[in-house]
Amino acid sequence: MQLTSQVLSGELHFNVEFRKYYYESGEYDKALDFLKKTLKENDCNVDLWFLALKTCVKLEKYDLAKYYLEKIRSYMRAKNINIIDEIKRDVELAKKYGLYMYYMAKIKYENKEYQQAYYLILNQQKLTPGFAEVYILYGEVCIKQHLFENAVGAFEKAIEIDPDCYEKCQLKISEAKRIQSELIKKGRYKKSNKK
Task: Give the pLDDT confidence of 87-140 residue by residue, as tens digits.
Answer: 666 666 666 556 778 888 888 898 899 999 999 999 888 888 888 889 999 999
CATH code for the domain defined by 100-185: 1.25.40.10
Total-model pTM: 0.57
Residue 183 or residue 92, greater confidence: 183
Residue 5 one-letter amino acid: S
Whether 100-185 and 5-78 are alike in CATH topology: the answer is yes
Contacts of 4 (CB under 8 A, 6+ apart): none
Band of pLDDT at residue 52, cut at 50, 70 and 90 = confident
Q: Are the C-beta atoms of residues 178 and 152 closer than 8 Å to each other?
A: no
- The CATH number corresponding to 5-78 among 1.25.40, 1.20.1070, 1.20.950, 1.20.120 equals 1.25.40
Between these two residues, 13 and 188, which has the higher pLDDT value? 188
**Domain positions in the chain:** 5-78, 100-185
Q: Per residue in 148-174, pLDDT tens?
A: 999 999 999 999 998 889 999 999 999
DSSP 164: G
Which amino acid is present at 156? E
Alpha helices in 42-163 (DSSP H): 46-58, 62-78, 83-97, 100-110, 114-127, 132-144, 148-161
